[in-house]
């Protein structure tokens, strides 16, 4: 699982992560994510990697809290799919848990090349923030992506 920050840059080749173990590997992946970002250009910077930083939500929040424009990418254990989500809203370390609206949020599958923007009727539930969770996209009772 990797978390990356979105910022402006030159373009697709420069946007690729420099780390050889990155789950986003090709310019095609970059262009696909760009569609979800409404064709905004970006450069990826790895902020958190569960393999390096540890499998603890507090480690995630220590590195990612307050950082806007994040892309969460992971490989599933069951079928080796590469999936993820994007939000412009900075992750927050809420003790009680709170939803944050984001009309630009989306989830995606790089494996299947499927992109799923947040639906207008559920924008207020785009992300869920809580100190004992990594990142959650969608409502907790009908979650789209829960890490």
In the predicted model, what is the mean pLDDT of residues 28-37?
Answer: 90
Q: What is the mean pLDDT of residues 22-29?
A: 88
Domain of residue 27, residue span: 2-146
Contact present, 108 and 115 (Cβ < 8 Å): yes
Say yes or no to pLDDT of 28 above 70: yes
Give residue 74's Cα distance to chain centre: 9
Number of independent structural domains in the chain: 1
Instruction: Indicate if the pLDDT at residue 20 is higher than 70.
Output: yes
Within 8 A by CB and 6+ apart from 40, the residues are 34
Percent of the chain with pLDDT over 70: 91
Question: How far lies 141's CA from each of 28, 42, 63, 73, 92, in Å?
Answer: 33, 32, 27, 22, 20
**Tens digits of residue pLDDT in 68-119:** 999 999 999 889 999 999 999 999 888 889 999 999 999 999 999 999 999 9
pLDDT of the residue at 88: 96
Residues contacting residue 116 through CB under 8 Å, at least 6 positions apart:
106, 107, 108, 144
At residue 54, the pLDDT reads 93
Q: What is the pLDDT of residue 6?
A: 52
91 burial (CB, 10 Å; 0-12 / 13-18 / 19+) is buried
Q: How far apart are CA 147 and CA 60, in angstroms?
A: 11
9 CB neighbour count, 10 Å cutoff: 14
Q: Is residue 10's pLDDT more than 80? A: no
pLDDT tens-digit readout, 47-64: 999 999 999 999 999 999
Average pLDDT, the chain: 86
pLDDT at 137 over 60: yes
Q: Which residue has the tokens 């450069």?
A: 43
């Amino acid at each position: 699982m990797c978390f990356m920050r979105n910022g402006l840059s030159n373009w697709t080749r420069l946007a690729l992560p420099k780390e050889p173990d990155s789950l986003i590997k090709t310019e095609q992946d970059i262009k696909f994510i760009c569609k979800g970002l409404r064709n905004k250009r970006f450069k990826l910077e790895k902020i958190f990697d569960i393999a390096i930083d540890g499998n603890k939500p507090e480690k995630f929040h220590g590195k990612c809290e307050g950082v806007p424009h994040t892309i969460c990418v992971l490989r599933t254990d069951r079928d080796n799919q590469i999936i993820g989500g994007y939000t412009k809203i900075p992750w927050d370390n809420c003790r009680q848990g709170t939803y944050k609206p984001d009309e630009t949020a989306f989830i995606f599958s790089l494996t299947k090349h499927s992109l799923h923007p947040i639906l207008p009727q559920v924008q207020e539930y785009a992300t869920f923030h809580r100190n004992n969770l990594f990142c959650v996209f969608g409502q907790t009772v009908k979650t789209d992506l829960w890490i």
